[in-house]
Chains A and B, each alone.
Chain A
Amino acid sequence: YVYRTSHICPVLQAEGLRQALEEMRTLYDRNQADVSEAKSGRTDLIFLIRFRHCCLLRNQRCILAYLYDRLLRIRALRWEYGSVLPNTIQFHMSAEEVEWFSRYKKSLATYMRSVGGEEGLDLTQDIKPPKSLYIEVRCLRDYGEFEIDDGTTILLKKNSQHFLPRWKCEQLIRQGVLEHILS
């Protein structure tokens, strides 16, 4: 399980990031020094200045690409896991990433509430086309009480099996609480 979560969102390489930014600072400072020298006659430095600038641009691109790619994975987490992230995953995220996630899910919630009538439409459901109304599910771990449409509640205990409306189970299946039994 830990491996799986690492694969989705590994620990932020804060040290690597810090080093890359440090390197940029050093390159820039050296360039600043050389630019004044170049201005006062040492035109042979221009090539070196340009080269350092290219390195700076490349560092900028790499850093932004890395951070942006992580954001995309974190975004995917909202759609896969729901709005509450397991602690093991949150542990791999930086404070700023957690904040980005929090703002993202709020923005998404606002949007979903605004479509589809009074209660809004949960777009993270109905991911697959419906094949049947009811499905057979097995409970993988103790979850507790679960209310279905007509008001009745079901006790979801580990290893219990139920025949439940498909649309009610989707989220729990994705969270790993229920398992769809395919006959």
Chain B
Amino acid sequence: MRGGGGGREEFGLSVRRVPRSHLQRAFFQAWLNEKFAPELLESKPEIIECVVEQLDHMEANLKRAKRGDLKVSIHRMEIERIRYVLSSYLRCRLVKIEKFFPHVLEKEKSRAEGEPSILSPEEFAFAKEYMANTEIYLKNVALKHMPPNLQKVSLLKSVPRPNLDSFVFLRVLERQENILVEPETDEQREYTIDLEEGSQHLIRYKTIAPLVASGAVQLI
């Protein structure tokens, strides 16, 4: 199932075989999107699982290699690079989860059946623990010493939401037509634009959020 030595290497789960080049591209795309999007994006468990498998596979190969072989250094460098991107991606998500924890949990709770999840099961557990930990702390240190009518506070209202109006740079991967752009000031009116493949834009995240999710645009 898994290619080892020479020739084209393929890595994948038992059901899908994903060529390595596709995996790397999808993985880097997911990483950049997550880095530049103001909100937490859909979780990509399939990509992560494949990348982790790839790393394990490469590590195993390295252990078998002869010491002092030039290939060892090159492969080690590759492993380091992939591991950096993986760590960066997961860290970026954790930072957003912690920053927007009530909203992230609320969104997950009110998710419709069949809609993709923004949290992996492990991230969900982490988010719940973070919320519980913080709630218990605030209750014990401050809230329970306050007058009875002020002992509850809505974290959903107090913790700021992600700013979906922030501007992002993007590159268009698939041509899009008639994207509705909302006016920024009262004098402007809403208008539509077409996004040509390969073009780059600076635009409000909210306008193109669904296109990021579908893979039609890439944040840069």
Of residues 109 through 149 on chain B, the ones whose CB sits less than 8 Å from some CB of chain A are 122-123, 125-126, 129-130, 133-134, 137-138, 140-143, 145-147, 149
Q: Is the interface of A mostly helix, strand, loop or mixed?
A: helix
Quick check: is A146 within 8 A (CB to CB) of the other chain? Answer: no
Judging by beta carbons under 8 Å apart, are A17 and B126 in contact?
A: no
Quick check: is A115 within 8 A (CB to CB) of the other chain? Answer: yes
* Closest A residue by C-beta to B129: A107
Measured between beta carbons, the chain B residues less than 8 angstroms from A56 are 147, 150
Judging by beta carbons under 8 Å apart, are B88 and A28 in contact?
A: no
Quick check: is B48 within 8 A (CB to CB) of the other chain? Answer: yes
Judging by beta carbons under 8 Å apart, are B126 and A110 in contact?
A: yes
Q: Is the interface of B mostly helix, strand, loop or mixed?
A: helix
A71 with B134: in contact, given A21-B142, A126-B88 (CB under 8 Å)? yes
A111 with B138: in contact, given A28-B147, A116-B52, A117-B52 (CB under 8 Å)? no
Quick check: is A25 within 8 A (CB to CB) of the other chain? Answer: yes
CB distance from A79 to the nearest CB of B (A): 9
A108 with B126: in contact, given A100-B137, A117-B56 (CB under 8 Å)? yes
Judging by beta carbons under 8 Å apart, are A100 and B133 in contact?
A: yes
Judging by beta carbons under 8 Å apart, are A107 and B133 in contact?
A: yes
Number of residues on chain A facing chain B (CB within 8 A): 44
Query: Contacting B147 at CB < 8 Å: which of A25, A75, A99, A100?
Result: A25
Measured between beta carbons, the chain A residues less than 8 angstroms from B165 are none
Mark A89-121 against chain B: 1 for CB-CB distance below 8 A, else 0. Answer: 000001011011001100110110011111001
CB distance from A57 to the nearest CB of B (A): 7
How far, in angstroms, from A48 to B48 measured CA to CA in the complex?
A: 59
Give me 4 other A-B pairs in contact (C-beta within 8 A), A115-B122, A127-B87, A129-B81 excluded.
A68-B138, A116-B52, A121-B83, A121-B87
Listed from nearest, the 3 A-B pairs whose CB atoms lie closest are A28-B147, A107-B129, A130-B80
Provide a sorted-by-A list of 30 A–B residue pairs whose CB atoms are within 8 angstroms.
Answer: A21-B145, A21-B146, A24-B147, A24-B150, A57-B150, A60-B153, A67-B137, A68-B138, A94-B141, A97-B137, A99-B137, A100-B133, A103-B133, A104-B133, A107-B133, A110-B125, A110-B129, A115-B122, A117-B55, A117-B56, A118-B56, A121-B52, A121-B83, A126-B83, A126-B84, A126-B88, A129-B84, A130-B80, A133-B73, A166-B80
